[in-house]
Structure 1
Amino acid sequence: MCARIHPMKGLVLEQIEFKPPTDREYAGYKRVLDQLWLAQLNVPYDNGLVQYDDITSFGFGGDHLIPQTDVTCPGNALEVAQTKLLEGILVTRAVPGICVQEVPTGLATHSLEAIGTKEFRIAEQGSALEVSSLAKISWYEYQQKITFDDHGEIDVALGATGDVAPGGVGGAMFGTDPAYGWQLGGQRTEQGEPTHAASHWHNAIWRVDFGIDRGERQYVEQWDYDNVAEPGAVPKLTGTSLRKQRAFHAVPGKTMEHDTWFRVLNPDSLNADGHPRSYEIVNRNLPHREIDVFAPLMSFTNVHPCQEYASMNLHAGCPGESVLDYVTDAEGELDDPVAWVNVGFHHIDRDEDQSPMHMHWQRFQLVPRDFFAQKPTIADDRACINGAGWIDSLDSPCVATNLAAPTVTAVGDEVSVGTTLHATPGRWNERRTSWEYSYLWLRDGQPIIGGDDAHPLGRDYVVTAADQGARLSVRVTASHPGFPSGHADSDPLQVPPSNLWPTGSPTRTAIKKVKVQESRNGKASGRARLRISVTAENATPTGNVTIRVKQGKRVVFKSVQRLRRGTTATTVRRLHAGRYTIVARYPGDAAARKSKAKTALRVR
């Protein structure tokens, strides 16, 4: 996203996009909102004496912006450049005006899954990114705070702190009529009448410009629920959707019921299940029914460049207009929606508001609805749960889970060269699917290189001379399309060393440096082509040769090469100028003894 401070709107966020922690849903970022800002804060007092428009009359930026400190911003405070005219001189300042911090959100998920048990299954703590700013308007101090959590929800909040105003024009802040306020402390007039802090509204309207997956068309959908049961019967609720074709107001009790909700969707962007991606607007606040502009809980219009503020609009293209005018004057299909979300709060002062007043909040949420086929932070062992049909498999997680380790047994009474080893997969969870098993044989924990440099992958393995003195085991992988795989290793099986076996023919290992390309200016461009031959009396040695190249005590190259007719070759690259030692070891086989060769190499 992009974040900035506007002189009037204060904190402005643009190009808000979300990237899941894995590529299971999609790779990279997808757009959610094009723009988000506070479009008006209207404060009318119940006694009718004063009414303020804090955004369009004062503004949350400029001199009203409060610099962040370590207390107000434990995270990162971003500098904001501001300019203004001061006595005819253009003055520029940079202040830490935007706070960005990661915060914990508490327990995010917990599931035992199996009904009637208390076996621990899944529990996660959540986290979120907060972006905020502070502004002082008269006695009130406001925090604009937008919170983005790890599963895609956006919490849009306005918090108010500061102090209760001590006086006011014509007794607006403290009057004597208890019908318009609440008595704070023991303050009285000269005539001995108790005074009351005037109750008032904070009518905050946010402008939310949707951009679901950067769609060329986006629709607003209204959902209403009706009870269709016979009178006196158990309630039976039906949900019906209606696509809103034109700009409109959503007014409680008139154009919407208490259980009506709205979402904005992109019909051309589908999740993995084929459902259109959308965001739902969750707003459970109270609109001010007596002021027409602030009576709708929400209003929807198409994007228009001059419609910046919900009331007392400052843009020269449509000066002084309000959201009422925007809806009335709207033309054409509603297909690029802006939501004007009203989060009204009726502040009836209390003794505890003194002093300073504890922060009180008015907020709404933008919640992903089918933006993902599953929540973006879903655990691997629940990834296969998508829709109905999984309830019969409550005992097992989706990921392949080993319950009893694989085993390796020798066919015959003893282990020797030529002995066949047989692997079993062990026991795995198989309630949700049947697994397919693959086998990888390991020598001392490392994959064994087989014929043509391939790994032996079957359930059976024949012991070779190269396995003398080593510990052999098998790694089993359980897999199934659409499910996360699992791995498990068997206990190792010790192969007797070669000195317990009959000795074969004496062997000789030789190293021949076929070609050395020298390095230049000490750079690592030198390379050597090595050829190793192993010869034996009355036999052709088989198996592998281990090759090491050392510079001093440091090993700079290691390779295991398979003999073919008693010979093998390899290339050592990226050699600096200097002296090297080459060692080739042959472990022997059933017909030939072990041997080694050592030679020096110099690269200039």
Structure 2
Amino acid sequence: MPVNRITRARTRASVGLTVAVLAVGAAVGAGPAAARPATATAQQRTGTAAAADCGAAHRIEQKLAGGTTWRMCWRYDSKAGLVLEDVSYRSKGEPAPIKVLNSARLAQIDVPYDDGSVEYDDLTGFGFAQGLVNLAPGECPGGTITTVRVPDAVDPDHADVKGLCTTTRSRGHAYRMQGNSANTVFQAQGKDLLVYTVNQVGWYEYLTEWRFQDDGTVHMNVGATGSLSWDDYDAGDGRGWPIGKGAKAYATSHSHNVFWRLDFGLDGSSKTKVEQYDSAVTAPARGRQAPTNKTTRTRVTKELGGDAKTYRWWRIVSAAGKNRDGHARSYEIVPGPTTRYPGRAFTRHDVYFTEYEACELFASNNPGCPAGAPRSVDRWVNGQALTHPVVWMNVGFHHIARDEDQQPMPVHWQGFSIAPRDVTAMNPLTPGELAGQNGHWRPRS
């Protein structure tokens, strides 16, 4: 029989939480959360979701052109950097905001070099959070840049950084429909709330970007830019790429394994469920014109390290609420392009579902749990029942340098999305003329 990794009593007594940031500069609609206590709160011990209670200076709130309003709190952690909490949205026609996430944060950036010379755990070992940089006004067009106090700053006298951008950005068509006639065309241009920071670690600068769409979709991306560390690691043995004239200045190839940690709180409850869907395509049956495709659902009731593959996907399902059609609200995990790194046990799966533990915050070299506890996400998967699942997403990128990576290096992105599935009964952006077409279609006059 599997046992808990950490006894609950010991967790309560031992877990220390990072002190969060206090607001320094004035900002409209954005700011850091209040300081966290030195020990776990009752909410954190039980895993229950509380209503967002950050003040105006600690809240991000944005109503987008399509009528959807996103709300969340934020704080700045001494290792994870930007942490978003109590994330909810309310689309037009919904009577109240719908809670989505208790918290969302980066959980590690693991960077092993192909020649085996070094491996960096940028969040917990190499000062990611302390590398927050000042943003120029032109980097946050139409938005607000908020001053953040960086905990454990290298220079305490320069710990106040204009480092958080909140703005909106167009993404093109949200939908378009003209049906059988071009007399009436329904179309809308989508808008996103964009929240981001830039953190410098050595030669690299990481753009940590959170995009909240007006249709309820959330995109999480990390973009790496800055400079190649070409003069430190000159690999000419097949593990590098020449970026100087001729066969010179070989930049060492390396991987960026980025982890995110998502704690869902759908409908205000952490007791969500995990489901996996797989589809199988078979040859056409007699009398059929095309192959058949059967989709099966598997309830994930115990901790899991999962691998993405064709026709497989997962969703996180609310146990507390349904939409107006009576369907359980859920969010689907949508992986982005990835190169899974086989060199470490904790990077060998695309997604992990673990049972909530307050001290388990980083996917590798996790520093916060009691002495002797496992320190990486792969070792937390030990058969515990999932009553409050936490999602760990791993997206890898194998960086083989090129001449165009200098100078400076163009941004290369990696990330994933979560998409609403039955959160609302219809498209949150449905125009009023089509609001009566829920579950059926009728021709327009």
Match of 1:281?
333
Match of 2:216?
152
1:175 has 2:242 as partner:
no
Match of 1:240?
296
Distance in 2 (alpha carbons) for counterparts of 1:49 and 1:235: 50
- 1:181 deviates by 2.4
- 1:230 deviates by 5.8
1:185 to 244, 253, 272: 244
Change (3 A) 1:85 1:249: closer
1:118 has 2:174 as partner:
no
Distance in 2 (alpha carbons) for counterparts of 1:326 and 1:354: 40
Distance in 2 (alpha carbons) for counterparts of 1:9 and 1:216: 22
| Counterpart AA for 2:365 | M
User: What is the TM-score with the length of structure 2 in the denominator?
Assistant: 0.79
- 1:234 deviates by 3.8
CA displacement, residues 260-312 of structure 1 (integer Å, 9 cap, x when unaligned): 10000013311011100000010032321332210100000121111010000
Match of 1:106?
172
- 1:69 deviates by 1.3
Change (3 A) 1:83 1:270: closer
2:121 to 42, 46, 53: 53
Distance in 2 (alpha carbons) for counterparts of 1:199 and 1:34: 37
Which structure has more strand as a fraction of its residues?
1
1:290 to 343, 350, 355: 343
Change (3 A) 1:180 1:136: same
Distance in 2 (alpha carbons) for counterparts of 1:84 and 1:249: 34
| Counterpart AA for 1:235 | P
1:129 has 2:190 as partner:
no
Structure 2, gaps ≥5 residues long: 1-71
Match of 1:323?
377
CA displacement, residues 508-552 of structure 1 (integer Å, 9 cap, x when unaligned): xxxxxxxxxxxxxxxxxxxxxxxxxxxxxxxxxxxxxxxxxxxxx
- 1:84 deviates by 4.0
Q: How do 1:155-234 residues align onto structure 2 when only pairs under 5 Å count?
A: 155-168=219-232, 173-177=233-237, 179-186=238-245, 188=247, 194-215=248-269, 217-229=271-283, 234=290
CA displacement, residues 346-379 of structure 1 (integer Å, 9 cap, x when unaligned): 1111111110011110010010000111111110
- 1:72 deviates by 2.1
CA displacement, residues 89-116 of structure 1 (integer Å, 9 cap, x when unaligned): x6574221211001111111111022xx
Distance in 2 (alpha carbons) for counterparts of 1:108 and 1:145: 20
Change (3 A) 1:350 1:86: closer
CA displacement, residues 224-252 of structure 1 (integer Å, 9 cap, x when unaligned): 00123369984211000011010010025
Which secondary structure state, in structure 1, belongs to the residue aligned with residue 381 of structure 2? helix
Q: How do 1:27-46 residues align onto structure 2 when only pairs under 5 Å count?
A: 27-46=95-114
- 1:66 deviates by 0.3
| Counterpart AA for 1:70 | P
Change (3 A) 1:335 1:57: same
Q: Is the 8 A contact 1:8 1:58 kept in 2?
A: no
Match of 1:16?
87
Which secondary structure state, in structure 1, belongs to the residue aligned with residue 243 of structure 2? strand
Q: How do 1:57-68 residues align onto structure 2 when only pairs under 5 Å count?
A: 57-62=125-130, 64-68=131-135
Q: Is the 8 A contact 1:286 1:297 kept in 2?
A: no
1:71 to 130, 135, 138: 138
Match of 1:394?
443
1:142 has 2:206 as partner:
yes
CA displacement, residues 19-73 of structure 1 (integer Å, 9 cap, x when unaligned): 11x2x2x2121110011111110111122222111111123222x1101211222
1:6 has 2:58 as partner:
no
Distance in 1 (alpha carbons) for counterparts of 2:394 and 2:369: 24
Q: Is the 8 A contact 1:218 1:264 kept in 2?
A: yes
Q: Is the 8 A contact 1:207 1:341 kept in 2?
A: yes
| Counterpart AA for 2:422 | D
Q: How do 1:515-530 residues align onto structure 2 when only pairs under 5 Å count?
A: none
Distance in 1 (alpha carbons) for counterparts of 2:198 and 2:343: 30
Change (3 A) 1:228 1:47: same
Match of 2:46?
none
Distance in 2 (alpha carbons) for counterparts of 1:86 and 1:375: 48
Match of 1:531?
none
Which secondary structure state, in structure 1, belongs to the residue aligned with residue 267 of structure 2? helix
Distance in 1 (alpha carbons) for counterparts of 2:339 and 2:351: 11
Change (3 A) 1:43 1:85: closer
Distance in 2 (alpha carbons) for counterparts of 1:231 and 1:244: 31
* More moved, 118-127 vs 361-370: 118-127
| Counterpart AA for 2:81 | G
2:305 to 246, 249, 256: 249
Q: Does 1 or 2 have the higher relative contact order (CA < 8 Å, sep 6+)?
A: 2
Match of 2:161?
95
Match of 2:36?
none
Q: How do 1:474-489 residues align onto structure 2 when only pairs under 5 Å count?
A: none
Distance in 2 (alpha carbons) for counterparts of 1:311 and 1:239: 34
Distance in 2 (alpha carbons) for counterparts of 1:243 and 1:353: 44
Distance in 2 (alpha carbons) for counterparts of 1:77 and 1:52: 30
Structure 1, gaps ≥5 residues long: 189-193, 397-604
Change (3 A) 1:337 1:187: same
CA displacement, residues 544-593 of structure 1 (integer Å, 9 cap, x when unaligned): xxxxxxxxxxxxxxxxxxxxxxxxxxxxxxxxxxxxxxxxxxxxxxxxxx
User: What is the TM-score with the length of structure 1 in the denominator?
Assistant: 0.59
Report which of the two structures shows the higher radius of gyration computed on alpha carbons.
1
Task: Say how many residue pairs are matched.
Answer: 369
Root-mean-square deviation (CA, aligned residues, Å) is: 2.0
1:263 to 291, 298, 315: 315
Distance in 2 (alpha carbons) for counterparts of 1:185 and 1:94: 38
Distance in 2 (alpha carbons) for counterparts of 1:219 and 1:387: 26
Change (3 A) 1:324 1:216: closer
Which secondary structure state, in structure 2, belongs to the residue aligned with residue 175 of structure 1? coil
